[in-house]
Structure 1
């Protein structure tokens, strides 16, 4: 073990009381156990069933909900291209695990397995890899766990980073850990970067240029299946002619601004049609109740999707407090605002509504999706607003202009279609690392 990873591992052990407190808290908030009778400690120490001898296993790790959704086309493609393999999908967060299990249940396919990734203690990492015995480890975006990567290297498991990205903010943090990152990246056999800027940041941290390729963003290969479209159409039909906008993946401090924009919109919206409806979808399920209370304090009547309530004409807000429905809710809207962008989070996936042909609005905080935002802006397929007042004005203008909404929606759809292909390029690179089918 190199000195940097040794110090890192020692720090993890010193911080373990705080780490375990956070793990227990998250599991309690989400009521996500991950397995009958299994405690968080068992789940997070790599104590998984051993892969039976002769069974071929792939392993893909995603951080949380957004990454699982973005990785779905890759998951489907891997299961289709490697029918002799099973695929273990791991997540770090309990909400991510819920989404992974929902994906596995929707497929009704025993070949897709959902598990928690172990905490990156050396023994837990070694135990997990030795029991899973994957033929290939895939780490999605920025999920660089030094002890897990080292455990793969010791057992001869090829490691690939797919959809690799390093935002400027993340890069500044990793720069302070450059010796540790150099040691971790030495375990990576192939890195598929989203952009040349991401590739350069990885290379500065120690990733070998000859093992790096710029393939584009997998997010452009977003899947919009008929089931999602069907749910969207039924929702839109039931909502009728009232103007509807969705605010998806919202965060604390952001909902207050969105509700203020909605209040302005409802006051200024003067066309002879029902009042505007905001479909509000918080990013984290543990905040659903708090956001419902926030709507009530703002004087807005709210219907909650989780309770089967329907937004009648007097309802101002429809709270999307269920998991896995955001795409369908986007598809039922006239306009979509993507959250994490009016507060310093860095934004979320602008391509989800764009792929459905729904006009996209965003705030100015877009560090995590800078390249995607630039591509959409260059095609005049994105409306960026500075604050809630500008958002209310943009909403009112667009809701009164069906032709411009149609143009924006089609422009966004065209951007997604024109930039597809990262999935195929990623699969071609991975084929060089996998043994024969």
Structure 2
């Protein structure tokens, strides 16, 4: 009898409502983590400028929305990749729902800068996504009053989704993906994830694998649809843009150009070594190399690598100079310009393909 009582007690503990147990625990961990990491945040803000930008917005204090008469659709993009991918989606939404306006949020500073440039005529405002504290999330939702929130790829913030549900704001993952690494991590808290995902209204996933992974985390099957990758909807003009012509003229791109796009550490080192051998194999028609690091905070490190490579190099961000036309390697240390130079390349290498990136 005692054993049965023990088993029943265990079952009651396992069935204890996650919404009343795990969310307070999550908020406690979030607060403790923020306090512990605050010195690091402050150091990075002072030395690198990270986190300082938009700090008030991350606490929920947003600029006023000019036209309050229109309904609002909130689109969230984490960084540069998601922001670029969202371009056709924004155009489509505005065409299909002219009575609505779009606001765009990002997490990273580079994503913020790009969003302000890409959506300056389409978005009512561009701002930083709030920290996942309840007070910040509630303040933002009260200010914006969105009809729906569209989240590019997979930003699963527990308090945010829960507060959206409480305020009857529809939420959807767009271009959703779950890498094997992320999936393994989420599986460790599958019970909690199942509760969190009940707050999500729709999950439009990139592939069957992504759909299967999010289903295993406990989302209702009727909420999941495979739509493919919206990045394939991006249009690339076959004709040269003004930016393409600027590159061609400034760097005098006549010999074969190899582009190493969205590279990660230590791929640049490997690419430069391979480039040395390639130029030795083609002495009469030596190719040139353009490197575009994936993360802007690594521009400086890659520049230092090139300084010690033995090759002449030029930076996109540098002042135009005569030696730009002779530079053997070009460092594309800018945001949002990569697609304009693809048409100049003979060969394109896509970074992250030499290693496992989750």
Note whether the superposition's TM-score is higher than 0.5. yes
1:301 is aligned, of 303, 312, 316, to 312
Residue 11 of structure 2 aligns with which residue?
Answer: none
Residue 339 of structure 2 aligns with which residue?
Answer: 327
Judged with a 3 Å threshold, the aligned counterparts in structure 2 of structure 1 residues 26 and 135 are, in CA distance, closer, same or farther, namely farther
**1:28 and 1:100 mapped to 2: Cα distance?**
24
Judged with a 3 Å threshold, the aligned counterparts in structure 2 of structure 1 residues 286 and 133 are, in CA distance, closer, same or farther, namely same
For residues 307-354 of structure 1, the C-alpha deviation after alignment (integer angstroms, 9 at most, x for no partner) is 1336646422111111111111222111111112223325xxxxxxxx
Task: Say if 2:24 is the partner of 1:6.
Answer: yes
2:134 is aligned, of 114, 117, 122, to 122
Within 5 A, what are the aligned runs for 1:5-84? 5-21=23-39, 23-24=41-42, 31=49, 40-49=54-63, 51=65, 53-84=68-99
Within 5 A, what are the aligned runs for 1:373-384? none
Task: Say if 2:166 is the partner of 1:154.
Answer: yes
Deviation at 1:221, TM superposition (A): 0.8
SS in 2 for 1:15: helix
**1:42 and 1:184 mapped to 2: Cα distance?**
26
Task: Say if 2:281 is the partner of 1:241.
Answer: no
Long gaps (5+) in structure 1? 347-437
Deviation at 1:21, TM superposition (A): 4.5
Deviation at 1:62, TM superposition (A): 1.3
For residues 31-77 of structure 1, the C-alpha deviation after alignment (integer angstroms, 9 at most, x for no partner) is 578xxxx8643121111145565331110111111111112111221
Deviation at 1:26, TM superposition (A): 5.4
SS in 1 for 2:174: strand
Within 5 A, what are the aligned runs for 1:174-323? 174-225=186-237, 229-233=241-245, 235-236=247-248, 239-270=252-283, 272-273=284-285, 275-309=286-320, 312=324, 314-323=326-335
**1:330 and 1:78 mapped to 2: Cα distance?**
28
Deviation at 1:104, TM superposition (A): 2.2
**1:9 and 1:306 mapped to 2: Cα distance?**
42
**1:185 and 1:228 mapped to 2: Cα distance?**
44
Residue 152 of structure 2 aligns with which residue?
Answer: 140
**1:255 and 1:245 mapped to 2: Cα distance?**
13
Long gaps (5+) in structure 2? 1-18
Judged with a 3 Å threshold, the aligned counterparts in structure 2 of structure 1 residues 39 and 260 are, in CA distance, closer, same or farther, namely closer
SS in 1 for 2:317: helix
TM-score for both structures, normalised by structure 2: 0.86
Judged with a 3 Å threshold, the aligned counterparts in structure 2 of structure 1 residues 23 and 128 are, in CA distance, closer, same or farther, namely farther
On the 8 A contact 1:32/1:98 being kept in 2, the answer is no
**1:142 and 1:200 mapped to 2: Cα distance?**
14
Deviation at 1:209, TM superposition (A): 0.4
For residues 197-219 of structure 1, the C-alpha deviation after alignment (integer angstroms, 9 at most, x for no partner) is 21111111111001211111112
**2:194 and 2:262 mapped to 1: Cα distance?**
33
On the 8 A contact 1:49/1:132 being kept in 2, the answer is no
**1:114 and 1:133 mapped to 2: Cα distance?**
15
Higher-Rg member (1/2): 2
Judged with a 3 Å threshold, the aligned counterparts in structure 2 of structure 1 residues 79 and 24 are, in CA distance, closer, same or farther, namely farther
TM-score for both structures, normalised by structure 1: 0.72
Number of residue pairs the alignment of both structures matches? 337
SS in 2 for 1:247: strand
Deviation at 1:225, TM superposition (A): 4.3
What is the RMSD of the two structures over their aligned residues, measured on CA atoms? 2.4
